[in-house]
Amino acid sequence: MSSVLEIKNLETVLHSEPRPVWAVDGLTLQILKGETFALLGESGCGKSITALSIMRLLPEAGEIMGGSVCLGDQDLLLLPETAMRNVRGKRIGMIFQEPMLSLNPVMTVAQQIGEVLQRHFDLRGQAVEKRIVQILDQVGIPDAANRMNEYPFQFSGGMKQRMMIAMALAGEPELLIADEPTTALDVTIQAQVLELMRGLQQQGGMAILLITHDLGVASEMAHRVGIMYAGEIVEMASREAFFRGPAHPYSRKLLAALPGRDRRRQGHRLDAIRGNVPSLSREFVGCRFADRCDHAWELCHQVAPGWTALTGEQQVRCHLFDQNSGSRIVKPPVSGQTAAPATLDAESREFESSPAAGAEQSAPDGSLLSVTDLKVYFPIHKGLMRRVAGYVKAVDGISLRIDRGTTLALVGESGCGKTTAGKAMLQLIPPTAGNVRYNGVELVGLERHRLRSLRSEFQLIFQDPYSSLNPRMRIVDIIEEGMNALGIKDGGKEHEEKKVDRLLESVGLPAETKWRYPHEFSGGQRQRIAIARALAVNPKLIVCDEPTSALDVSVQAQILNLLRELQRNLGLAYLFITHNISVVEYIADEIAVMYLGRIVERGMVDEVLDSPRHPYTQALLSAVPVIELESKRKVIRLHGDLPSPANPPQGCHFHPRCSHVMPVCRKNYPAASIFSSTHTAHCYLYPQDEEQSDRKTQA
């Protein structure tokens, strides 16, 4: 099969102070026609810079120092910029990581796709419009003839990603570069995007360079896999060979860091990779992974490993394999270089005697938090007089309970109301109706001074730690701010600083980092700081709002290990808001599935995941990418997008997208169907609870 892209010894440097950063250092790879090559690795390894080097779209500080990038028989690095403009968008298309930052907010969809068609095909007038409609239909945009004249902000996240794909495919490229095309998308939207890319590839024989840190996505999409670490590829193999037996210690660590039910049941910690990707401005001697490797010995720190060919197409850069025969060299790890689990130190045990350790009594029903029929409606104002024309029913009557020391996972698509529900429970958003009882105390309508006195007992970890940390404050001030605001005083200034030190150490950060600013930390480290800030006021309940979204699997493993360990030692309860089902499998005790403001199914995590009853839960679980070499599971495709919470469908909210819809589903909202004392679902496919029959219907 002919080669579409061939890269040899590519070297890309970013000229920064005080030393240049060698973001890509001697990279070599080949992509064949009709093939998907997945480039995997942690953030900071050079994956996106590789893509920008191919497109010659490097930032001003970037420079390609050597190597070749051949598209067919043409070396792109030798072309003048005017010639490259005929390559970009025509022979090579690119899906950028963040569609909202890549789409022009003041141009309609038609104008943005039309630019590509006019530049590369010289289409004008009705010919352009006809072709735009065809392309939008191809990527699954409904009512394309009308929606082509809308702006990016009028589309959902999944639709914006489809628009990016449409723009990338408008030129009918030979090569498509997809840089994290599904990051932070819901699993249902992710499944649609991946299916779309596969279908378009099969139709035209297009080659795809897929850049991702999601191993499940790589398993479903890739034909071959390359593992990138610190600017170079350390392992290359076919999909089957890699997922059957990864060779490089870094590759094995990435797979071992994946969460799942087996790990939770066995009580095992996730195999997190200690440390971080090394700075690419340093001069490397020996193996670049040696400082983080459990199997490194003297040779690894002194000599850089070369390529070793294993069975089939698998190749690896590692001294653990003999350069001639490919057999394993058995060497014990050097003393002191094995990964020690990060546990709470002895001084941190002080927190066990704090109120968070569970010394106080729970509510009479045994729950720490009990939510009944919670509603949050936002008014829609129209006209000059700002009259109320309707309501956005973000949360529409949910009920749940969380016991001390347990984790309830709240899952669902973006826009279903998960985050709004979490904030309303903490009274950060005033509920429209319903009850929220914390430890027996009703929070809704509670006097301001009494609510403030309880604030220290329930805290929130935000989704994006960078935007929730004040960039002008040092870490010590960020952590002490909450303690001072809520009157958590355990002594003088010196004692407070010691507590900050212990908090940082308890989340795996050195005490001296307290004098640094947020921008000086990695994403995983900033999330640890956010956790330390939440712990500073001795809470009993923490609402975790997507705390691991968009994190590398290695960093995600560190955060999940930390949260489980803190729960065991401090008796914490978590409301864990997420759309990552594998994380739910590992950390949750119970699960509630939310759709358009309502909980449609809830139960113990094994009950719901092993035997999902609601059609929405079934579709959600079937869309999760899994690492299976011979997967026979049936993926249930949901048609259309989440309806607007400002105008929810009558009857069951899910019926417009349900393949099992019946006439009764369009009339009344179903009452609960009970499968066990802990497992319920709202669906007419099952017998209804007679005691709730009078509630069938608020919609």
Q: Average pLDDT, stretch 314-339?
A: 58
Closest-CA residue to 107 (of 166, 139, 140, 153)? 153
CA 698 to chain centre: 34
Domain ranges of the chain: 3-91+173-266, 106-169, 342-369+401-595, 615-625+634-699
pLDDT at 330: 44
CA 184 to chain centre: 4
Q: Is the pLDDT of residue 523 over 90?
A: no
Q: What is the CATH number of domain 3-91+173-266?
A: 3.40.50.300
Q: Do domains 3-91+173-266 and 342-369+401-595 have the same CATH topology?
A: yes
Q: Which residues contact 482 (CB under 8 A, 6 or more apart)?
A: 456, 488, 533, 536, 537
Q: What are phi and psi of 241, to 5 degrees?
A: -65, -40
pLDDT at 632: 65
DSSP-assigned letter for residue 321: B
Given 3.40.50.300, 3.30.565.10, 1.10.10.10, 2.60.40.1120, which CATH number is that of 342-369+401-595? 3.40.50.300
* Helices first, then strands: H and E counts in the chain: 23, 24
Percent above pLDDT 90 for the chain: 55
DSSP result, 211-250: EES-HHHHHHH-SEEEEEETTEEEEEEEHHHHHH---SHH
Read off the pTM.
Answer: 0.83
- First-to-final CA distance of the chain: 58
Q: pLDDT class for 635, splitting at 50, 70, 90?
A: confident
pLDDT at 339: 37
Tokens 């920064």 — which residue?
16
Q: pLDDT class for 539, splitting at 50, 70, 90?
A: very high
Tell me which of 207-216, 355-364, 386-395, 630-639 is least confident: 355-364
Q: Average pLDDT, stretch 660-664?
A: 94
Q: Average pLDDT, stretch 397-410?
A: 96
Mode of pairing for the β-strands spanning 3-14 and 441-442: unpaired
Q: Within 13 A of 223's CA, how many CA atoms are on the CB side?
A: 13
Tell me which of 282-296, 328-342, 462-476, 478-492 is least confident: 328-342
Tokens 């002008």 — which residue?
472
Q: What are phi and psi of 543, to 5 degrees?
A: -90, 115
Question: By three-state DSSP, how is residue 133 classified?
Answer: helix
Q: Which residues contact 26 (CB under 8 A, 6 or more apart)?
A: 9, 10, 11, 67, 231, 232
pLDDT at 355: 39
Question: By three-state DSSP, how is residue 31 classified?
Answer: strand
Question: By three-state DSSP, how is residue 458 classified?
Answer: strand
CB 62 within 8 A of CB 12: yes
Q: Is the pLDDT of residue 283 over 70?
A: yes
Per-residue pLDDT of 562-596, as tens digits, reads 899 989 998 999 999 988 888 999 999 999 999 99
Tokens 């409301």 — which residue?
575
Helical (H) or strand (E) element with 64: strand 62-71
pLDDT at 252: 94
With 0-12 / 13-18 / 19 or more C-beta atoms within 10 angstroms meaning exposed / middle / buried, residue 339 is: middle
